[in-house]
């Protein structure tokens, strides 16, 4: 089974979002840490998932 293509996934983990959107790792993790009420963030237990819309 091959890995899914990031452009086709609807839900990404933070590392995948950083890779796909070419973001600053430090700034993105700071954003996730400081803001809990982001419209694109879903919590799955303690895991943070990024919802693409």
> 11: which 2 tokens?
């839900």
pLDDT band per the 50, 70, 90 thresholds, residue 50: very high
Task: Give domain limits for the chain.
Answer: 6-51
pLDDT at 53: 82
Which residues are paired to 51 by β-bridges?
11
The whole-number average pLDDT for the span 39-44 is 94
Burial class (CB in 10 A: 0-12, 13-18, 19+), 42: exposed
**Is pLDDT at 37 greater than 90 in this prediction?**
no
CATH 3.40.50 correct for 6-51: no
* Residue 32: Cβ within 10 Å count: 15
> 6: which 2 tokens?
């990031």
Summarised one tens digit per residue, pLDDT across range 9-36 is: 999 999 999 999 999 999 999 999 998 7
């Amino acid at each position: 089974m091959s890995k899914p293509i990031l452009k086709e996934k609807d839900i990404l983990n933070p590392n995948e979002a950083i890779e796909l959107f070419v973001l600053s790792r430090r700034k993105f993790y700071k954003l996730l840490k400081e803001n809990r009420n982001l419209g694109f963030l879903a919590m799955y237990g303690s895991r943070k998932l990024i919802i693409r819309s």
